[in-house]
A and B are shown apart, each in its own frame.
Chain A
């Protein structure tokens, strides 16, 4: 993150939080290759702290993570003046319509079930934060 260039800084910043490090690495690599800036987190607490610190343009949260899953992270974000407007996309391996509905009611902007459709996922990101510069 420290080696980001000036041009990269102008690109939207995305936080990817998932306890599956392989998936986080893959998503980061792909988003970066597209021109986005990415920060990573692997548990709920880390995700919330980094959201507060970096105020990303988008947060991608796994529903089930250690020390607070995606839902609790989003709840904490909604209580903070600095983070409440940041859009959130959920990722989950669970198949649960109620969960999807709860996410929607909490204000999540997207809900993707793993394994997700790549094109759909990337276009949802682009719709929320715009194309990378």
Chain B
């Protein structure tokens, strides 16, 4: 049977004698020492299982320094405090500070049962300590696994604070970001993402990260060794491979070629009829021909978009980069959008401050993005407001955030992660949309990305949508590092 070692640290001779008496005849070994460096060393060499600390070692009005005693080397042993009889205040304070028990001095009753009970607490603490160590080791093990992943993984607190990022995540977002808010650092948002704000437990989402790749994320709630809830998120790269992309691009190229050829003939025959080369036409026949022409024009626009998307996705498009003010870019499309909104009886507003820092951008491309987003908003809003707003965010050397907000039908939650996919269209009973092929948002996102920015959406079905994009502000070094006035699109 194991022999337990008991140590009294203090100066009270009477206590020493009483403890010696109580423990003689048991299988416990006893020692006493002064509470100085030498005494502590002796107790440590002794291999003590329980400490009895005299309250008189500490000044009268100070509590027993349990933390300091632990740091002396008694990290896991139970500490019993020996207090003068009646000093229940010190006894309670010591217990509150982490002492396992106390006994009164002068020692009158046999302290053995209290010491055995204290040792029992010590055993329990050791077991707890063992489990904590096991958990810590398991936690370290998890982090080792996360560190070896080629895809990003991170752990955040319930307050959205980044606690851990694996090396793959650090490679994408940068190092030294722990402590930052995950929604800002990872997703360029000013508030937590819906998936975290509304959901509890595990979640899944897709996201295009700053490296331009698409990831499918899964998150689970985990408990750390201290029992605190944290969220672990692991991403898997689901960016289409080069081969798939190439097939996709060749397909689009061939299809658009085959669509254009008959369209050219249709246009010509409409002109022939319209010019009266096929005989005189009635007023009604002219009206029908104009409808054919209008639809042929729509089809032509669709093909142009298809080709645009293809060029952008294959990295073929070139941008004419200039130092620009956002306000001037918005002006390019403002009147056209205003007219569209007026046609539907919707209020249209633009709020772009005059003092925004300039951006380095292809004005026509950014105008295309704004027209696209606002055009969508107008299309999906039956009454209320469509608004373009812009503001400056100083983070990451400064970004301009452009928001297009509407009070329209919103986007169903299950579609939110997919609307930027090529050819994706939200199917809804509530709206019949006759135009659009699911290209505009993909094109817009690629354009924003080619500018070093990000595009994201917030929406609630029935409430409206808000599309935001962030563009880095102009830094003079940008021009120096690129071909003057031109920048190759990065593609997807």
Contact = CB atoms under 8 A, between A and B. Distances in A.
A1 interface: no
A26 B256 contact: no
Given A29-B277, A30-B277, A95 B300 contact: no
Given A23-B268, A30-B268, A30-B275, A115 B257 contact: no
A118 B264 CA distance: 10
Interface string A17-41: 0001011001101100100000000
A23 B265 CA distance: 5
Contacts of B262: 20, 22
B271 A30 contact: yes
Interface residues of A, number: 18
A113 interface: yes
B272 interface: yes
Contacts of B266: 115
Contact of B261 (A23, A26, A27, A97): A23
18 contacts: A20-B264, A22-B262, A26-B265, A26-B271, A26-B272, A29-B277, A30-B271, A30-B277, A33-B277, A93-B261, A94-B253, A94-B257, A95-B311, A114-B260, A114-B261, A114-B263, A115-B263, A118-B271
A116 interface: yes
Most chain B Cβ neighbours within 10 Å, of A20, A26, A91: A26
B307 interface: yes
A23 B264 CA distance: 7
B157 interface: no
A116 B275 contact: no
B364 interface: no
A127 B264 CA distance: 22
A22 B265 CA distance: 6
Nearest to A62: B261
A95 B258 contact: no
Given A26-B265, A114-B261, 5 more contacts: A20-B261, A23-B265, A94-B253, A114-B264, A115-B267
A96 to B, nearest CB: 9
A93 B264 contact: yes
Interface of B: 253, 256-269, 271-272, 275, 277, 296, 300, 307, 310-311, 316
A22 B257 CA distance: 16
B307 A115 contact: no
B256 A95 contact: yes
B313 to A, nearest CB: 13
B277 A115 contact: no
Given A29-B277, A95-B307, A95-B311, A115 B264 contact: yes
A30 B263 contact: no
Contacts of A114: 260-261, 263-264
Given A95-B256, A113-B260, A118 B267 contact: yes
Given A115-B296, A115-B300, A93 B257 contact: yes
Contacts of A33: 275, 277
A115 B260 contact: yes
Nearest to B318: A97
Interface in A73-125: 91, 93-95, 97, 113-116, 118
Nearest to A22: B265
Nearest to A34: B275
Given A26-B272, A115-B296, A93 B267 contact: no
Nearest to A114: B264
A26 B296 contact: no
Nearest to A32: B277
Contacts of B275: 30, 33
Shortest 5 CB-CB distances between A and B: which pairs?
Answer: A26-B268, A114-B264, A93-B260, A115-B264, A22-B265
A126 B260 CA distance: 24
Contacts of B277: 29-30, 33
Contacts of B258: 93
A22 B269 CA distance: 9
A120 to B, nearest CB: 12
A116 to B, nearest CB: 7
Interface in A23-73: 23, 26-27, 29-30, 33
Nearest to B269: A26
A23 B277 CA distance: 15
Contacts of A26: 265, 268-269, 271-272
A91 B277 CA distance: 23
Contacts of A94: 253, 257
Given A29-B277, A30-B275, A115-B296, A20 B256 contact: no
Contacts of B311: 95
B265 to A, nearest CB: 4
B310 to A, nearest CB: 8
A30 B272 contact: yes
Nearest to B308: A95
A27 B296 CA distance: 18
